[in-house]
Structure 1
Amino acid sequence: MIPVVLGGEGEVLDLGQATRLFTAGQTAALWLRDRVCSFPECSIPAHWCDAHHLIHWLDGGVSQLSNAALLCGRHHGGAPATDCSGR
């Protein structure tokens, strides 16, 4: 049995560590929450960003909104989790 948290439209918002990638529903929620890249001073729009684990999945980080931030291509490659504001 895998615990799952669903959004209002039935989209998966939290699968814990059952899956590494964020779902389309989670990404849409991040777009609404963060609006731009979460790296300080960056204003790249959300739709040009990727979901980033604040605590890396391999280190036990879960694929849920509380452990996610949007980062643009420039900042997603090597941004330490501590550099993200998670706006």
Structure 2
Amino acid sequence: MMILSFSIFTGLLGFLVFCSNRKHLLLTLLSLEFIVLSLYLLMTLVLNLYSFEYFLLMVFLTFSVCEGALGLSILVSLIRTHGNDYFQSFNVLC
């Protein structure tokens, strides 16, 4: 039960960091990955508690890896075009 509350606490902490940090894109992506990892831990504990199969975890892990790769590719392309990862320097219209 303590691990379950730890997983929920880490998810809320990652969500707090995601909402409060608006300066760098890299820190925002890292907080999103932290939320995904805490959700993965929570889903593992719940599926283990009810003795279900772990096939859903493999699908979730696959999509989270794709999300991380997409975020890093967007970060690299923005750094190549703008020179940094500050949110204030991005122009949405260009």
TM-score of the aligned structures, taking structure 2 as reference length: 0.24
Structure having the higher helix fraction is 2
- TM-score, normalising length from structure 1? 0.26
Larger Rg: 2
- Higher share of residues assigned strand: 1
